[in-house]
Amino acid sequence: MSEDNDTIYYKVSYVVLDNKHPGAIISEDKRPVPGDEVTFDNRVFEILEVAELMPPTGSFGFLHATCRFIRELD
């Protein structure tokens, strides 16, 4: 199998602690890990934990990530 066939793409549900932001669902080409930063809605968030919602099917996986607000983008 070539490397292209081994690639998994993820649909990630980002939930922001404190409910001050509704979060987002974003397609990612690499699995996020705690400590990573993600940007959406012109804001930067730190990922605190990642959970697999279900095992990957073919080249597609579903993840849930809890994150916290860090800063606004300039």
Q: What is the pLDDT of residue 2?
A: 39
Indicate the pTM of the whole model.
Answer: 0.86
CA distance 48 to 73: 20
Rg (CA), the chain: 13
Return phi, psi of residue 6, to 5°.
Answer: -90, -5
The pLDDT score that the predictor gives to residue 1 is 34
Residue 5: the pLDDT is: 58
Task: Compute φ and ψ for 26, nearest 5 degrees.
Answer: -130, 140
pLDDT tens-place values along the chain, 74 residues long: 334 457 899 999 999 998 878 999 999 999 999 999 999 999 999 999 999 998 889 999 999 999 999 999 98
